[in-house]
Amino acid sequence: MMKIKILDTIEEMEQVEELQRIVWPGSETDVVPSHLLVTVAHNGGLVLGAYEGDQLVGLLFGFAGLYHTPDGPRPKHCSHQMGVHPDARDSGIGFALKRAQWQMVRQQGLDRVTWTYDPLLSRNGHLNIGRLGAVCNTYLRDVYGAMRDGLNAGLSSDRFQVDWWVNTRRVAGCLGPNPRPASSLADFEEANAQLLYNAHRVDDLLRPGAAIATPQANLLLAEIPVDFMALKASDFELARDWRVFTRELFETCFSVGYLVTDCIFDRSAGQPRSFYVLTFGEATL
């Protein structure tokens, strides 16, 4: 049975170190050291572990930070890292870790959590946007520079920075006792969502459309690969094309007032497909 623990000892942080090496192999310099994790845990930060028996299978850590408003700086929680052992993925561990973080951050009196993730990883998009209720209107180009670990090496480290407003009805509707049902592609098609481009398959690999339509509707749909890491392994040049294409797409949409509000998987046609939903204007939330 899986359980979530708040971690604060050096022995526990050494386990977290080892799990990082498994989740993000290939670059020792990217491992957050145990002494820093202990310092974070003892000074207002949060380090969580997911255990199956005595084995650590999931980790999450974040710390207090500031963001700027017209009225001056305000506190937030910066969620820096979450990872799940490869053998335990798709078993709900990531969701359980974020739900525990949601509870702890609210107890600290904070209302905003931010973190970054690669927007081309549809599994992460489905969790962060679709299931947790985070939103995004910030695209960061090459924010971490050249990364050397096995998952990120070779591509620019572009990221979404998401906002998780933990006290909103939107988030409570995702994490409360009666979570809202997942939306489908058909739901958005019935709402006249605009498809921004027609992605197509060549040799069973999804390729972006030749052009991006001018955003006009209140709801937009943008298709991305279901498994970007597999695509990258098969055709690195195509992976790079997707990075450049979606960079232009999201920067354009964000600049005119859209924000990402959902990420959906569609299986209605047999072949799985993944779409971001963009909504015009923050008032629509």
pLDDT of residue 285: 56
Are 102 and 219 members of one domain?
A: no
What sign has the CA pseudo-torsion 237, 238, 242, 245? positive
Whether the per-residue pLDDT at 186 is higher than 60: the answer is: yes
Q: What is the mean pLDDT of residues 53-82?
A: 96
Asked if residue 141 lies in contact with residue 119, where contact means CB atoms within 8 angstroms, the answer is no
Of residues 92 and 213, the one with the higher pLDDT is: 92
pLDDT per residue over 23-39, tens digit each? 988 778 889 999 999 99
Whether the per-residue pLDDT at 141 is higher than 80: the answer is: yes
pLDDT of residue 147: 56
Are 159 and 211 members of one domain?
A: no
Domain assignment present for 157: yes
Number of domains in the chain: 2
State the Cα torsion 267-251-78-106 to the nearest 10°: -60
How does DSSP classify residue 40? H
Are 145 and 192 members of one domain?
A: no
146: confidence class by pLDDT, cuts 50, 70, 90 = low
Closest listed residue to residue 63, CA positions, set 32, 40, 30:
40
Closest listed residue to residue 100, CA positions, set 117, 85, 79:
79
Are 58 and 164 members of one domain?
A: yes
Q: Give the domain extent around 11.
A: 2-175
- Domain endpoint, select from 157, 175, 193: 175
Closest listed residue to residue 88, CA positions, set 1, 5, 146, 150:
1
pLDDT per residue over 103-113, tens digit each? 999 999 999 99
Are 160 and 50 members of one domain?
A: yes
pLDDT per residue over 209-240, tens digit each? 777 888 999 999 999 999 999 999 999 999 99
pLDDT of residue 193: 95
Number of neighbours of residue 184 by Cβ within 10 angstroms: 14
Residue 147 is encoded by which pair of tokens?
A: 């990364």
- Average per-residue pLDDT for the chain: 92
The string of DSSP codes covering 54-77 is: TEEEEEEEEEEEEEEETTEEEEEE
* CATH (domain of 73): 3.40.630.30
Domain assignment present for 180: no
Asked if residue 60 lies in contact with residue 81, where contact means CB atoms within 8 angstroms, the answer is yes
Are 94 and 17 members of one domain?
A: yes
**Cα–Cα separations (whole angstroms), residue 221 to 130, 197, 261, 277:** 14, 8, 11, 5
Domain assignment present for 6: yes
Are 165 and 66 members of one domain?
A: yes
Dihedral pair phi/psi, residue 253, rounded to 5°: -65, -45
Of residues 257 and 179, the one with the higher pLDDT is: 257
Q: What is the mean pLDDT of residues 31-56?
A: 96
Q: What is the mean pLDDT of residues 87-113?
A: 95
Least confident of 58-72, 160-174, 191-205: 191-205
Are 112 and 249 members of one domain?
A: no
Least confident of 68-77, 167-176, 263-272, 276-285: 276-285
Q: Where are the beta strands (DSSP E) in the chain?
A: 2-6, 46-52, 55-69, 72-84, 112-117, 135-140, 159-165, 194-195, 200-202, 205-207, 219-224, 258-266, 273-280
pLDDT of residue 265: 93
Are 135 and 196 members of one domain?
A: no
Are 80 and 197 members of one domain?
A: no
Are 28 and 60 members of one domain?
A: yes
Domain assignment present for 107: yes
Residues 6+ apart with CB under 8 A from 116: 140, 143, 159, 160, 161, 162
pLDDT of residue 12: 98
- Domain endpoint, select from 175, 197, 229: 175
208: confidence class by pLDDT, cuts 50, 70, 90 = very high
Domain assignment present for 156: yes
What is the rounded distance in angstroms from the CA atom of residue 139 to the CA atom of residue 168? 23
Are 226 and 249 members of one domain?
A: yes
Whether the per-residue pLDDT at 47 is higher than 80: the answer is: yes
Residue 49 is encoded by which pair of tokens?
A: 């572990």
- Domain endpoint, select from 175, 200, 230: 175
Of residues 118 and 25, the one with the higher pLDDT is: 118
Whether the per-residue pLDDT at 155 is higher than 90: the answer is: no
Q: State the burial class of residue 21 (Cβ atoms within 10 Å of its Cβ: 0-12, 13-18, 19+).
A: middle
Q: Which residues of 66-90 are buried (b: 16+ CB within 10 A; e: fewer)?
A: eeeeeeeeeebbbbbbbbbbeebee
